[in-house]
Chains A and B, each alone.
Chain A
């Protein structure tokens, strides 16, 4: 019996979705009950799983062909248990929050259906033990995101944003699927359990080595340090390994909105705020980082690939932070902040520190969800106002929301003793071991983070109300503020509950299973680098923002470089030009060729040639008896001539 309990993690949300799809979208109370009930049940099961009370369930074979087996089984190691708690916990709180937030929406049944299918897919990602199963649920979260971002579909902007999110994810999945295929091509399996991979690595002859680009014996010249792949015993062409790693990373680029596919995340704020909290802050975008941690043994096989990962993570984090400095919509600021923090996590994975990435992922889930839900509370209080320059003085008017938002902001900025301080500084110190360059950029990003978050808080929560509407906000009901308080508590204590040790234990066991040794010397960065420098930088950021925005009527940073930041480095414009200019142009020219040349010239042309022949031959049917007699005689003479003289 025990063996089936874990499957309920997937069955409950799926059952809720089906019930809502078939019948209950018309009966919102049942829909809400089913959805919230299933999320609570999943959380309880996740707690049981975490405590070890639930064993890994029996698996069943999904595709069984010679050379290609995919089974549906779950992997319950510390990585998935921790992530499961985060996902189900934050999910449950967002479900409860949505009950209040969506109260007045006529389609709330459909909303909760979307939330349930999302929980099903996200839980599936966390529990997958092989890349095909992961890919299936991966597409599932992409689909749920499409449904929820385009929830208010009457708005053209929401429909466009939903399409953009799905297409960006699809484009990234192109790379992801390529990576999975190359992985299977090289190793003959799609499973990512560390034991299986260790077994595959230790075979010196790989079962499915790439025949064309194969590079069989890679002699290591003396004095040259062996690549990690050779160290692990994997002999395959480095180019193929790099393609595999970059391909797998492409999935993360799409899902976690890394440069250059980051453009869908800010637009995805068109969805209701609980969606932004759950999907685009705490869980779905974190799925990319989770996936990287899950396939970490594979990423190790290409040093070039790891460098690419770390660089893109670093670039995204600083670029998004710069853009956030000049945004004025509260949800967009938080969206770019999410991008920036995800960049941190990806950078950490690229710096051979997946445990730091997971630690930061967990704390980030708490305070980012808190920030988004509190923002939702603010938006709800001000009747759908999202521009921070139209807020002001909210801390005094809606203190509970204000204080929880402040806690979230301090945690995000990395102020001790809040959770963000521990995770961010641990992450940065490990990155320093890999490359001081990444560390420096990371510290600069921390400065920017403190800066723009303080800017947001000062403009929206301090000072005087800037507009009439902002003078009378109403506090949200208890079922909306309770999740805020719970998340605020976790943002406070997150650094002390042992997450760091928990994930460190997991990553140590993985590297031991595959026998990996860090290729670069791990030095102690020292207390100064690890704690004091970042803290000074954060305080500097807070101070600068306070000085600039305290009592400011408009934004003092204008013009020049700040306009570039406000326009998000013109990425959206570049992509729009590409889509309209190149893609549509190609499509229209092909369509022209199809209708004029293939259809017109060749097919109708052939038809007209036939018709033409017919018209020509018809001329011979004169209907005139003399003409026929003439031709008949002529034919007869020709026949006689040939018979007699040849």
Chain B
């Protein structure tokens, strides 16, 4: 039985949970150690992958039979990474570390809080490294349960309602997704049913052409199964019109949970589409492409304009993250090397920028006691470090070059145009080009609302409340995730020590590194993308 290093990505949080609950160790410190271990391990794995010279294939493979009962498809505990999942593993490592680092040590019911955060990260990691449909799904649901508890117990205003809404909505999505998975597996002939993704791909796709005379599933069957997966993944990622759970969810969640969910868990859905749904059901994908485009208009334009009308900071950031999912979908829908590489780079970039924005929004709310734009203003004088960090985060999300999102978005645009080169004569109207233009216009919309947010919070005249030194009063209402005994009543404090702003600086530096040197990620991703089936020649 070959143990791969990937197992430790799952064991570290599990062990930390064990330590916190049973051995009653310091919760924040233990969680931080596990997160740091995962972060370092993900970096080591990248070096190892590059040195393994697998030319884009899977590495660090671990395959243990889990359920082998005659009559049902076998389930294997199958772990592996390739160039597409490895950046996501790294993203999980970085964002988890940052999220745990910014969480307060004195939070109430601290050991449970950190245990749920660790459960969330274990779920995310597991989903990205699993190559078996069963475990892929289960790990994601671990993270979902943790989200429910985190929002419900430590969330801010309206948390009871929101936690139920988010969880039931996402569970409904998972259910639809599960239906899709089961439908896919049961539609195959008896002898070839398996839950293993690699085996399924091998069986259905073969060597790039079909392994049999034709796809084992008819076009009609695919046209029924694919939408199940599309809707399932769509709900999980916030595809219009399945987006309503996200803004209130993120607004009420404790900042660390919002960072983990918006930064990492949403990417699970796009990854699932790239890894599973589109390769295995390619004809169904092509049949449903017009519907995908129709929904994308909703993401780009509708969500963009709704974001402009928001009056509270966390809600605005929540809607803006829905809008940016459109770019990921567009890059993925191109299904060519440039577009897919751009989608993966953008996943990492957006994960970093969303984590930054949600974390900083939590800081602003906690320190100033307010999250409505009308009540804030001029805070750059009181909190210059937060202003600088928030500006970096905003520049990242706007797609300013030098930060990670630009590289991804650039590749998505070029991939969309490349889709209409004469090598692909199957599209009568230049719809990808049209959507690339809509996407570029989306960056204008993003600039409008993001700069406005910076101005409302940090620039302009300062309301009286913040002009004095920071003071606090006893808490009568719950604010942020910490539920402290006191809340700010006047003034605003800034993040002063490295412990306070270090995690954000880490995220900014990560975004800068990828932004200045995108070839680091692109050279990692491209060989694996080249191995995906049905790419244009």
Query: Is residue A143 within 8 Å, beta carbon to beta carbon, of the partner chain?
Result: yes
Q: B455 — which chain A residues lie within 8 A by C-beta?
A: 159-160, 163
Interface residues of B (CB under 8 A from A): 165, 168-169, 241, 244, 302, 305-310, 337-338, 341, 378, 380-381, 388, 395, 398, 400-402, 406-407, 410-411, 413-414, 417-418, 420-422, 425, 428-430, 436-437, 440-441, 443-444, 447-448, 451-452, 455, 458-462, 518-519, 522-523, 526
Inter-subunit contact B430/A135 (CB<8 Å): no
Q: Other than the known A68-B411, A163-B455, what 20 A-B pairs have Cβ atoms closer than 8 Å? A: A62-B518, A64-B522, A64-B523, A66-B338, A137-B401, A139-B406, A140-B402, A153-B460, A156-B459, A159-B459, A163-B451, A174-B441, A181-B436, A185-B417, A211-B421, A587-B306, A587-B307, A588-B309, A590-B309, A591-B309
Interchain CB contact (< 8 A) of A154 among B310, B407, B460, B523: B460
* Pairs A–B under 8 Å by Cβ, sample size 6: A63-B522, A64-B519, A173-B443, A185-B420, A587-B305, A594-B244
Q: B306 — which chain A residues lie within 8 A by C-beta?
A: 587, 590-591, 594
Interchain CB contact (< 8 A) of B519 among A62, A162, A594: A62
Interchain CB contact (< 8 A) of B421 among A21, A166, A185, A590: A185
Q: How far is the CA of A143 from the CA of B519 in the complex (A)?
A: 23
Inter-subunit contact B425/A211 (CB<8 Å): yes
Query: Is residue A562 within 8 Å, beta carbon to beta carbon, of the partner chain?
Result: no
Query: Is the contact region of chain A dominated by helix, strand, or loop, or is it mixed?
Result: helix
Inter-subunit contact B241/A65 (CB<8 Å): no
Q: How far is the CA of A160 from the CA of B454 in the complex (A)?
A: 11
Residues of chain A from 555 to 612 with CB closer than 8 A to chain B in the complex: 583-584, 586-588, 590-591, 594, 598-599, 602-603, 607
Query: Is residue A45 within 8 Å, beta carbon to beta carbon, of the partner chain?
Result: no
Inter-subunit contact A65/B461 (CB<8 Å): no
Residue of A nearest to B441 (CB): A174
Inter-subunit contact A63/B407 (CB<8 Å): yes
Residues of chain A from 122 to 176 with CB closer than 8 A to chain B in the complex: 132, 135-137, 139-140, 143, 146, 150, 153-156, 158-160, 162-163, 166-167, 170-171, 173-174
CB distance from A332 to the nearest CB of B (A): 22
Query: Is residue A409 within 8 Å, beta carbon to beta carbon, of the partner chain?
Result: no
Inter-subunit contact B241/A598 (CB<8 Å): yes
Given A154-B461, A163-B452: A65 and B309 interface contact (C-beta under 8 Å): no
Given A181-B414, A209-B422: A154 and B451 interface contact (C-beta under 8 Å): no
Q: How far is the CA of A129 from the CA of B254 in the complex (A)?
A: 47
Query: Is residue A208 within 8 Å, beta carbon to beta carbon, of the partner chain?
Result: yes
Q: B402 — which chain A residues lie within 8 A by C-beta?
A: 136, 140
Q: B422 — which chain A residues lie within 8 A by C-beta?
A: 208-209, 211, 214
Query: Is residue A5 within 8 Å, beta carbon to beta carbon, of the partner chain?
Result: no
Given A63-B411, A65-B522: A212 and B429 interface contact (C-beta under 8 Å): yes
Q: A173 — which chain B residues lie within 8 A by C-beta?
A: 443
Number of A-B pairs whose CB atoms are under 8 Å?
146
Residues of chain A from 184 to 226 with CB closer than 8 A to chain B in the complex: 184-185, 208-212, 214
Query: Is residue A510 within 8 Å, beta carbon to beta carbon, of the partner chain?
Result: no
Which of B309, B447, B461: most chain A CB closer than 10 A?
Answer: B309
Interchain CB contact (< 8 A) of B444 among A68, A137, A150, A167: A167
Inter-subunit contact B309/A63 (CB<8 Å): no
Interchain CB contact (< 8 A) of A66 among B165, B337, B462: B337
Inter-subunit contact A587/B308 (CB<8 Å): yes
Q: How far is the CA of A214 from the CA of B421 in the complex (A)?
A: 11
CB distance from A109 to the nearest CB of B (A): 11
Residue of B nearest to A147 (CB): B391
CB distance from A150 to the nearest CB of B (A): 7
Q: B436 — which chain A residues lie within 8 A by C-beta?
A: 181
Sorted nearest first, the 9 A-B pairs with minimum C-beta distance are A591-B309, A159-B459, A587-B309, A136-B401, A587-B308, A211-B422, A153-B459, A170-B447, A587-B305
Q: A603 — which chain B residues lie within 8 A by C-beta?
A: 165, 169, 244
Interface size in chain A (residues, C-beta < 8 A): 58
Q: How far is the CA of A155 from the CA of B377 in the complex (A)?
A: 11
Residues of chain A from 30 to 74 with CB closer than 8 A to chain B in the complex: 61-68
CB distance from A136 to the nearest CB of B (A): 4
CB distance from A65 to the nearest CB of B (A): 5
Interface residues of A (CB under 8 A from B): 21, 61-68, 132, 135-137, 139-140, 143, 146, 150, 153-156, 158-160, 162-163, 166-167, 170-171, 173-174, 177-178, 181-182, 184-185, 208-212, 214, 583-584, 586-588, 590-591, 594, 598-599, 602-603, 607
CB distance from A311 to the nearest CB of B (A): 24
Inter-subunit contact B519/A139 (CB<8 Å): no
Inter-subunit contact A68/B523 (CB<8 Å): no
Given A170-B443, A181-B413: A154 and B381 interface contact (C-beta under 8 Å): yes
CB distance from A206 to the nearest CB of B (A): 10
Inter-subunit contact A150/B337 (CB<8 Å): no
Inter-subunit contact B440/A590 (CB<8 Å): no
CB distance from A30 to the nearest CB of B (A): 18
Residue of B nearest to A209 (CB): B422
Q: A63 — which chain B residues lie within 8 A by C-beta?
A: 407, 410-411, 518-519, 522
Q: A65 — which chain B residues lie within 8 A by C-beta?
A: 337-338, 341, 411, 522, 526
Residue of B nearest to A586 (CB): B305
CB distance from A180 to the nearest CB of B (A): 9
CB distance from B335 to the nearest CB of A (A): 14
Q: B441 — which chain A residues lie within 8 A by C-beta?
A: 174
Q: How far is the CA of A251 from the CA of B414 in the complex (A)?
A: 18
Inter-subunit contact B444/A174 (CB<8 Å): yes
Q: How far is the CA of A158 from the CA of B455 in the complex (A)?
A: 10
Q: How far is the CA of A177 from the CA of B433 in the complex (A)?
A: 12
Which of B398, B406, B421: most chain A CB closer than 10 A?
Answer: B421
Q: How far is the CA of A584 from the CA of B449 in the complex (A)?
A: 11
Inter-subunit contact B444/A171 (CB<8 Å): yes
Q: A583 — which chain B residues lie within 8 A by C-beta?
A: 305, 308, 448
Inter-subunit contact B460/A159 (CB<8 Å): yes
Inter-subunit contact A167/B309 (CB<8 Å): no
Q: How far is the CA of A132 from the CA of B409 in the complex (A)?
A: 13
Q: B305 — which chain A residues lie within 8 A by C-beta?
A: 583, 586-587, 590-591
Inter-subunit contact B519/A178 (CB<8 Å): no
Q: B417 — which chain A residues lie within 8 A by C-beta?
A: 181-182, 184-185
Q: How far is the CA of A210 from the CA of B427 in the complex (A)?
A: 13
Q: How far is the CA of A66 from the CA of B421 in the complex (A)?
A: 13
Residue of B nearest to A133 (CB): B401
Inter-subunit contact A178/B421 (CB<8 Å): no
Q: How far is the CA of A174 from the CA of B300 in the complex (A)?
A: 15
Q: B380 — which chain A residues lie within 8 A by C-beta?
A: 153
CB distance from A424 to the nearest CB of B (A): 35
Q: A143 — which chain B residues lie within 8 A by C-beta?
A: 395, 400
Q: How far is the CA of A62 from the CA of B406 in the complex (A)?
A: 13
CB distance from B429 to the nearest CB of A (A): 7
CB distance from B17 to the nearest CB of A (A): 33
CB distance from B260 to the nearest CB of A (A): 24
Residue of B nearest to A603 (CB): B244
CB distance from A265 to the nearest CB of B (A): 18
Q: A170 — which chain B residues lie within 8 A by C-beta?
A: 398, 443-444, 447
CB distance from B516 to the nearest CB of A (A): 9
Inter-subunit contact A211/B420 (CB<8 Å): yes
Interchain CB contact (< 8 A) of B440 among A61, A158, A177: A177
Q: B401 — which chain A residues lie within 8 A by C-beta?
A: 135-137, 139-140
Q: B447 — which chain A residues lie within 8 A by C-beta?
A: 166-167, 170
CB distance from B446 to the nearest CB of A (A): 9
Q: How far is the CA of A586 from the CA of B449 in the complex (A)?
A: 14
Residue of A nearest to B416 (CB): A181
Inter-subunit contact A598/B244 (CB<8 Å): yes
Q: How far is the CA of A64 from the CA of B341 in the complex (A)?
A: 11
Q: How far is the CA of A162 from the CA of B452 in the complex (A)?
A: 10
Given A185-B417, A212-B420, A587-B309: A153 and B458 interface contact (C-beta under 8 Å): yes
Residue of A nearest to B449 (CB): A587
